[in-house]
Structure 1
Amino acid sequence: MEFVIHILEFLVMLSILVLFHEFGHFFVAKKFGIKVEEFGFGFPPRLFGIKKGETIYSINAFPFGGFVKLYGEDEAGSGKVDFKNSKKASNITDIKRAFFARPAWQRVLVTVAGVVMNFLLAVIIISYLFAVFGSIAPKDVKIDGIQKDTPAASSDIKPGDIVIAVNGKNIQTTQQFIDIANDNLDKKITLKIKRQDRLFNVPIVPRKNHPKNQGPMGVVITQEVEVKKYAWYEAPIKGLTEAVSFSYLMVKEMGRILIGFLFLGAKPEGVGGPVAVAQISFQAFSAGIYPTLWLIAILSLNLAIVNILPIPALDGGRLFFVAVEMVLGKKINPRHESLAHTVGLALLFGLIILITINDILRILAGKSLVSP
């Protein structure tokens, strides 16, 4: 029963992400007067729909997200809309309201609106988490232990000490401590130590040559952290900063995987499909609301980044064709663009199938999909 509930939760989560994305297209298209023929929850076949104004709001059989059908978005390539014969459209006004008939800058904004909505959803969720639950922030670097026959053992450093600064530079993270030590091998540095209520300086020389199981100083360090809650006016700023930071890391990781695969022949480790996402989601659902909301925020950012890639059938692919049109000063042959999107969609589905098969094989082999 728990598994069934997690499946339903997973479908609801995916639907929220996709509907937010599609609502972005819908909202901006409406603002520009572009005719929206249908806004659907799930994917066809249609179960039922309500027509309000010119738009059908539908509920469809497969509840895996949603879609927006803009008049003239794909019909130009299939010949269903013809500028030369207005009788094939409902009227002249409809032709002018077709997506492909709108200025390039409007088509750009309609296309990127979905990506923007996913990014904003992530910012809203992360901001809420920082305001209500707080965020874990680095506080201090603590000396947990001293190894024998090391520079630390010959110094006045003791377990339990807190390192406040190194060479006059304040530090808060273990990585800062490690970096400074590695940058000053065989050079004397000064640690500012806090022991209970007392502050004092300790000189020490990090070794260049040290055993593999020891560091340059011979200390065991841990990261002390604190939970910080943000005020309502601080949380959105922190949420935006974190969303940008996560997006940068995602793009960087995608680039690393792609370069390794294309030029170095490396196996694309860490790439997961729907099965991997479902497994991670089930773990988050079981852990509670906090990790679940974080997961939704991360997946929303991921959806935004993937969609903006210049791949036919994705928003980024459509943007690419609009950009080419703006540079050349003339429209791309709609049939050629339609063909590119069709091929791109087929390749994407093929890739998803291959990744899903790989996920299933890893599960059958007893391997975790959470980490490679």
Structure 2
Amino acid sequence: MTTFLLFVGTILFLVGIHEGGHFLAAKGLGIAVEEFALGFGPPVWARQRGETRYSVRIFPLGGFVRLAGESEAATEVPFERTYYGQPAWKRFVLSLCGPLANVVLAVAVAVGAILGFGLPRPQVAGLVPGKPAAEVLQVGDVILAVGGRPAWATDDVGARIRALAPQPVPFRIERGGEEMEVTITPTFSPADGRYLVGAYFLPQIVLAEIEALSPDAPLARAGFAPGDRIVSACGEPVSSFYDLYAIWEDGCRETVVDRAGDRLDLPLPDSVDDLLEGTSFRTLAPRYERPAPAEGVVLAFRQIADAMVGFVATIRGLITRSIPAGEAVAGPVGIAALLGEGMRAGPVVLLLLVALISLNLALFNLIPFPALDGARTVFALYEMVTRRKVSPRVEMVVHAVGFAILFGLLILITFQDLRRLFG
């Protein structure tokens, strides 16, 4: 129930901001607004104030601002105050203000989350035996800087290392409350086709200790039990799950387990799915720090920019079919599940997720597909460039068809989310 209320509240808030951008722009441009609505379907609350009707509707999956003259319904508003009575530049600006409001909100939420709660520092979550990092780093080391640049969990530490390779890479770390400088020289991995130091850098450390185990899990059938701590594998010491995984990838299937002080020899499964299925390993909480205000703002803008690049890459992948639609698209059920996970992960993750959803709402609406803001900007641009106006009736029909298609896709995506969630 909590996840459902969080989802409804988030969607209504983000849609309200989006439609509020259109609403304020319309008022500022002198266009009559007949209704400002949150949700679709029959109204559960409505109030008339001046020329505008404000309503909340039963299905909280969207919203709209109905402008005078935008539909074929009769209106008493003078033509010069209707939507189609406006010059193209005004309709262009009006169409952009909804997405712009969501982008501004995304930046504000990201900045507030980072400055208010901080970000996790990357930590050494695991080491690959025989690799350069294993000689210098220890599991649990906190990475403060890489190559002279501050390191945060939102950064790709591996990408920073590869950018400096093959030269030695300076690290500033914290170990046991003390800061120190170390240097690691990456080595080229033919199997991966890139330079690596042989360490897993993550915001939290997953221990090689079983916290929960389903009775029918493969590890349970192999003799493991909740509370078991894997201390070594094939003679190599194990400090974290990623240590164990790195040794497992090399073909090791023999472990020594500590169970309440007793040592047991237990085998690992051959499949990575069997290694993880029905098993939960104990996880240490991330370490959060607040960056300096200027750095926090830069980090927030970097998050937004990376999300924009990711959105464009996803759209390109969907068009070229290099990314399956089922993996890239989430509907209401999928978004609700993500928000639930974000809530359990903590306020920073939840707020950054809300910022990401707001940004995606803006970018999605800018796609030039009928019924979306992007299509309305295209119609306005066409008129501005050609000096020829598309018939309002034609534009209305185009948007109506687009809305029907989008509604159908929403239903299909929702069924897909349910199938993915419940198997």
Q: TM-score, normalised by structure 2?
A: 0.66
Residue 49 of structure 2 is aligned to residue 71 of structure 1: no
State the alpha-carbon separation in 2 of the partners of residues 26 and 6 from structure 1.
Answer: 29
Q: Which residue of 1 aligns with 2:81?
A: 97
Q: Post-superposition shift, 1:137? A: 5.2
Give 1:249's aligned amino acid.
Answer: G
Residue 36 of structure 2 is aligned to residue 39 of structure 1: yes
**Paired residues of 2:371 and 2:400 also in contact (CA < 8 A):** yes
Per-residue CA deviation, residues 176-199 of structure 1 (Å, 9 max, x unaligned), is 324554xx5xxxx55658899887
Q: Which residue of 2 aligns with 1:136?
A: 120
2:14 to 13, 17, 42: 17
State the alpha-carbon separation in 1 of the partners of residues 66 and 180 from structure 2.
Answer: 68
State the alpha-carbon separation in 1 of the partners of residues 179 and 164 from structure 2.
Answer: 25
Q: Which residue of 2 aligns with 1:295?
A: 353
State the alpha-carbon separation in 2 of the partners of residues 364 and 165 from structure 1.
Answer: 42
Give 1:220's aligned amino acid.
Answer: G
**Paired residues of 1:143 and 1:158 also in contact (CA < 8 A):** no
1:257 to 312, 318, 324: 318
Q: TM-score, normalised by structure 1?
A: 0.74
Q: Which residue of 2 aligns with 1:84?
A: none
Matched length: 328
Give 1:362's aligned amino acid.
Answer: R
Do the aligned partners of residues 232 and 162 (structure 1) sit closer, same or farther apart at CA in structure 2, a change above 3 Å counting? Answer: closer
Question: Structure 1: any 5+ residue segments left out of the alignment?
Answer: 82-88, 366-372
**Paired residues of 1:313 and 1:342 also in contact (CA < 8 A):** yes
Q: Which residue of 2 aligns with 1:221?
A: 199
State the alpha-carbon separation in 2 of the partners of residues 193 and 313 from structure 1.
Answer: 51
Alignment of 1:282-361 (within 5 A): 282-361=340-419
**Paired residues of 1:164 and 1:192 also in contact (CA < 8 A):** no
SS in structure 2 at match of 1:34: coil
Residue 104 of structure 2 is aligned to residue 120 of structure 1: yes
State the alpha-carbon separation in 2 of the partners of residues 90 and 200 from structure 1.
Answer: 75
**Paired residues of 2:36 and 2:64 also in contact (CA < 8 A):** yes
Q: Which residue of 1 aligns with 2:306?
A: 245
Give 2:101's aligned amino acid.
Answer: M
Do the aligned partners of residues 60 and 180 (structure 1) sit closer, same or farther apart at CA in structure 2, a change above 3 Å counting? Answer: closer
**Paired residues of 1:46 and 1:58 also in contact (CA < 8 A):** yes
**Paired residues of 1:146 and 1:159 also in contact (CA < 8 A):** no
Per-residue CA deviation, residues 204-239 of structure 1 (Å, 9 max, x unaligned), is 794676xx599877x532438774424556644543
State the alpha-carbon separation in 1 of the partners of residues 182 and 14 from structure 2.
Answer: 53
What root-mean-square deviation, in Å, do the aligned CA atoms of Structure 1 and Structure 2 show? 3.7
**Paired residues of 1:42 and 1:64 also in contact (CA < 8 A):** yes
Identity of aligned pairs, percent?
Answer: 32
SS in structure 2 at match of 1:100: coil
Do the aligned partners of residues 363 and 96 (structure 1) sit closer, same or farther apart at CA in structure 2, a change above 3 Å counting? Answer: same
Give 1:350's aligned amino acid.
Answer: G
1:108 to 92, 107, 111: 92
State the alpha-carbon separation in 2 of the partners of residues 131 and 329 from structure 1.
Answer: 48
Q: Which residue of 1 aligns with 2:331?
A: 273
Q: Which residue of 2 aligns with 1:362?
A: 420
State the alpha-carbon separation in 2 of the partners of residues 279 and 25 from structure 1.
Answer: 29
Q: Post-superposition shift, 1:288? A: 3.8
Do the aligned partners of residues 146 and 324 (structure 1) sit closer, same or farther apart at CA in structure 2, a change above 3 Å counting? Answer: same
Question: Structure 2: any 5+ residue segments left out of the alignment?
Answer: 152-156, 204-286
Give 2:327's aligned amino acid.
Answer: E
Give 1:105's aligned amino acid.
Answer: W
Report which of the two has the higher share of strand: 2
Q: Post-superposition shift, 1:18? A: 0.6
Give 2:303's aligned amino acid.
Answer: E
Q: Which residue of 1 aligns with 2:52?
A: 55
**Paired residues of 2:126 and 2:201 also in contact (CA < 8 A):** no
Give 1:31's aligned amino acid.
Answer: G
Give 1:101's aligned amino acid.
Answer: G
State the alpha-carbon separation in 1 of the partners of residues 21 and 421 from structure 2.
Answer: 36
